[in-house]
Structure 1
Amino acid sequence: MRHMARAVCPAAVLLAASIASAAPAPARAPAELEILTTPAGATVSVDGLNRGSSPVCLKNVPPDVHLVAASLPGYVEARKTVALAEGQKATVTLPLEPITGLALILSEPPGADAGVNGADRGKTPLLLTDLPLGEHKIRLSMPGYQTKDLVLNLKDRVPVVLSASLTSDSAKLIISSTPEGADVVVNGVAKGKAPCTVDRIPAGEITVELAMEGFETYRHTLRLAAGEFETINAALKPIPAELSVVTMPDKARVYLNDEFQGESPVVLKNLAPGNYRVRVEVKGYDPMARTVELQRAQKKTEEFRLARSDGSIEIITRPAGADVSVDGAKAGTTAGAPDNPGPSEPLIIDFVPPGEHKITISKKGYAPKTVTIQVEKGGRTSVNETLMRVFVPDTEVRTVSGETYRGVLAETDAQGNLKLEIKPGVFKTIPAQDVRVRLPIEDSSQKQAP
């Protein structure tokens, strides 16, 4: 029995080993891979299988070694090997290098400034090795030649030669003037005196000016292409004279050869050379006249200092607010506070003819006063008068209580209350509600409502 037991045990071991080897291996956890490119938008492949455009995030990627590739038109394809472990999350970035072309820029004559896409790159002949594939704008410029624009198209790394012949930008002008000797300016640059020939002018719009003292400046604009020329014969127009008339005082009436031209100061333009009779006049001053000679293109100023032909009067009254008449015609009212017994502000009366004049000063409640004065030419006569107060009632007030008051109305306030001077220096205040009738004494037919 012991011998059998030993024989059975090895068989059991072999069976168990056979069963164990037949059981499946446990599953491996997938990895996760994020693929980025610079620039984005490249086509991404993993192990040769297209996985879309970057950026790409791939899940369930078997843990293993993978080949990642990215391609984008105009860029060199980028490749990278990535080893992914079980359950790993990895990110791979593929920078893409642009494919650049080769170009040689030539010009005739050489030495032109070459601009590429608006940036200065040097002078021709110019070798360019860093331009990306595609179209590029080339501009060639050189003093004395027209600017030329070209298009450079780079499709691959095959060298491209781009050449251009520059066209001269100069034109020519043959210039004369009537009369001769005018100063010539072309495009803002002095070129001597007419007649003259001006060459090496840049093609395009050209501005020509001819100037001579006493004549209007001749201006002409034209367009010339490279190699063209133009003849200009400028007939200069004489400049008329100009006369400015100023006077002291101003606002004088100005006459030229007895024709009214306006009030000073005045500027008279477009006058032909010759002699002119200028006359100025203003109220209160002696008129003046003189003969003025004007030359061609001359700008002349004539000044007239006028002398007073009359006088003036300065009047001060006590009290203020008095009416003033000169020879029976009202001339004004003295200013100042109406209740101020002191002197008024001066009242100036101008344009008074020289000689004897009667001044009448009057104010309600005061006796009028008349004085005779003498006014000198160009002088000022002062009058300082004090009026005598007189008590002359001008208002009658009848009250509700039956009383009647007569006196000088001094004030009516905003509530309608009356302040009446019933005797010299004696005032009576009558409330509005007590006023039945108020009448002006000088005209009893006009009554004011209570």
Structure 2
Amino acid sequence: MRTIVLLTCFLLAFLLAAPAMAAVAEPAETDEIIHGVTLEPVTETTYIITSAPPTEQPAERPVTREPETPVTDIPGPKVGWLTIISTPSGAEVTIDGEAAGATPITGREVGAGSHSVSISMPGFETYQTEKSVGAGEQAAVDATLNEIVIPTTAPTTRVTIHPEPTVTDVPCIGCDRGWIRVYCNVNGATVSFDQLSSGCTIANGYCDTDVATTGTAFRSFTVQKPGYEIFTGSVSSWPARGQTVSLYSTLIPVQSYGNIQVDSRPQGAVVTLDGSIWQNTPTTFTSVSAGTHTLQISMNGYQPYGTSVYVTAGKTASVNAYLVPNPPQPRTGSLNIVTSPKGADIYVDGTYYAETPYIVTSLAPGPHNLRMYKAGYDEYMSTVTVNAGQQTPISWTFTPQQGSVGSIDVYSTPAGSAVYLDGNYMGQTPYGGSLDIPSVLAGTHTVSLRLQDYKSYTQTVTVRAGEVVTVNAQLTPSTPSPVPDTTGQIMVVSTPAGAELFIDNTFRGITPATIPDIPAGSHVVMVRQAGYTDATQTVTVTGGQSTPVALSLAPVPVTTTKTPMSPVAGLGAVALAGLAVLYLGKRE
């Protein structure tokens, strides 16, 4: 009895403990995500209720945690600005595959780095390029679109004889009439049938021959004219009463040939016949078809020569060309710059010239960097090509500044002062004008001006979006030091501007210009420009002071040279005079 009671108690205890052990065996659900944890597969465990004592559960495997990788903060993207223009304008632009509008596009903000630019317009080839933009910098794309030329092919004319159906009617012997119409490409050609003299003459592209419908039908017809190959065709059908049968013919000119003999002075020029066949002079073109032909003769350093020549069959036509040397080519070119509004500062290759409108002269042939500033407007920046002896027109309409930027207009007395914005050098105040500083972020800025022998000038300005702040700086001379200043500066302007400036035979820049650190004393200032005589002035520079110089250039006068008498002609004249004296002496 005691044994039965113990077994019953043990069984009840095991039944009560089984749900708790099942809960321990199942993994707990959690919403927490643990990075770097390796989870082992869970093996399903089946529990069998028995009177035997419970088996001990195996220990769970430890969970291994790998160290989490720290996240590094990435700084925000840096930006620059991209200006895109095209010729013609109005082309569609995509930047990195996204539509960006139509040209011209100025000051487009893009991320720093390389960008793919595509410019397209119906009827023109698509222009594609890669442009790199630096952080805080501006870049420009100037695209010239090439027009798509669609070749035209002259249609080939095929002459086909279209027989008309024969209409059978009740014959009326000797009374029914019809017509045979012959078409031809040459007026004046004669038509005959079956080698008979009867027929007609082509006029307005055809002629008609009246025939009896009940008569004997023609089997062939012939069309001929002097200078053309004879055409023969068959009469495929015969007209019924009141009907017309159409026949077609094409006359081909009889080919005859001659020659063209070409020579030139100097020899060795390239001569092209009818724009296709070319040879070097002296030469003879053989087997040239009779008729009119064109010749083009060219040689490096000489003007092109063109003429037409008529070739007669069986004969040789001659052409002698005397080539004219090219005139001397100018060594410089110019830019004629006009803007709207006017008054923009012009910088060519980093050198200030003047305010628009203005003609920048004496520029070397080739590409130049052109930048223009106007307070309150977006700046202009482009690469322009100057051609020797030519004036390249530049016309530009400025776009008012948008967004959170404004401009600063800086004047100074005296001119030539170095201007700094927030400690960054921006340029010099020009003689007779102002220095425009566009695209200045709205806010408070410090403008500083420095000039040798003058006290530094500093002014704090507040720039508002879309507005222009003007700074008029009156610089104060420095207090004389115990040691006198031994250098000064020379401020040179010329009419016209853009002349080369030399001080003591040393090139110092392009007018107008302010040259500092000139030793006190006497100096020779000279300006030079193609097509003008040199202008020179001797000036005295005083230490610590500015010396203004204004020079005007005079155009080179056109002179005619007389051919001097040769020594032989002079001796001949003396001899004749002597003979005349001797003759008169004998007569007396």
TM-score over 0.5 for the alignment? no
Which structure shows the bigger proportion of residues in strand conformation?
A: 1
- Give the alignment's TM-score, normalised by structure 2: 0.25
